[in-house]
Structure 1
Amino acid sequence: MSLTHTDDHGRATMVDVSAKVPTAREARAEAVVRMQPATLALIRENGLKKGDVLAVARIAGIQGAKKSAELIPLCHPLALSKVDVAFELLDSPPRIRIETRCKVTGQTGVEMEALTAASVAALTIYDMCKAADQGMVIESICLLEKTGGRRGHYRRDLTEPGERT
């Protein structure tokens, strides 16, 4: 497999996508934040001093997707048409599952935007809750699915050991 982000001399370079035809592309990603049961209860009850954790994390995730090209050196800036950030609060073990979805019609995919949205939303949950629970763990940041582009459809196999069922 050849590397696409290096030139003939092995130097990092941004891929030239100018010859590609714009197509509809979509990506979904997730992250999980594990925490103490009391922390999850505080989030549910909107009982943290910093405010509504999930509302702020949703906005942060959207902003993260929009800023991906500023954070990831060889990532193309995209005119995103849609960014969704959703949360699932789970009790056993206590955790929040974050799922993001990004859409674009363009010459390159939106996987990095979806992954960045999930990551930034998770970091925001940590930041807003760290006074109550410094032992939180951010884990399982992964691409769930992507459509469009030359490589077509990808869906993560969630039946592998360690994956959710």
Structure 2
Amino acid sequence: MKVKIIVVLLLAISIFSIWYLTPKRYAKTIDGVYYQLGREGIIEPIRMHLDGKLQHHINGKKSFQGKVVFEGKQLPRLPKDVAELELYYGGENFTSLFASFQTTNAEGRKVPELFMYGSIYINDDFNAFTVKLIANDDARPWSESGGFMITAPAANRAEATMKSEQLIKDFNKKSLER
């Protein structure tokens, strides 16, 4: 009888582990705001679409591989023929948001290109995001006094700023612990 209970228990644990560790489709739309540091208010409300695979790991971290699309009229433009950004997140609360594509050079050869959109900070639950935009239409580098940010979910600047500061602070704290 004990052997049967142990076998059933091990089988249940195995099934749960396989289910838990198998990557799952993750499609989510989050409302947020696009704003500039050093200025009051927001530039515009935005919508962030995530679509990809989210995977839980045995150490409790999550990873994500997929596409990100931002909706907003005043957001920095992506290069021609690029509609979405790529996000490869390994559970470290920070990664880059970029687009990879090909262009044709003067000799007619395809040349790989990489467009960096920004640095993204993510919480452990993978449901809060803030992006320090590297790409902006003013061609100015990012700075703490005038950098452009996207934060989601957020309904206003105060909420976005608070969430952004918390995400960056959490990342810095975890970086120091390593």
TM-score by length of 1: 0.28
Higher relative contact order (Cα pairs below 8 Å, separated by 6+ residues): 1
TM-score by length of 2: 0.27
Structure with more of its chain in helix, by fraction = 1
Q: Based on CA coordinates, which of the two structures has the bigger radius of gyration?
A: 2
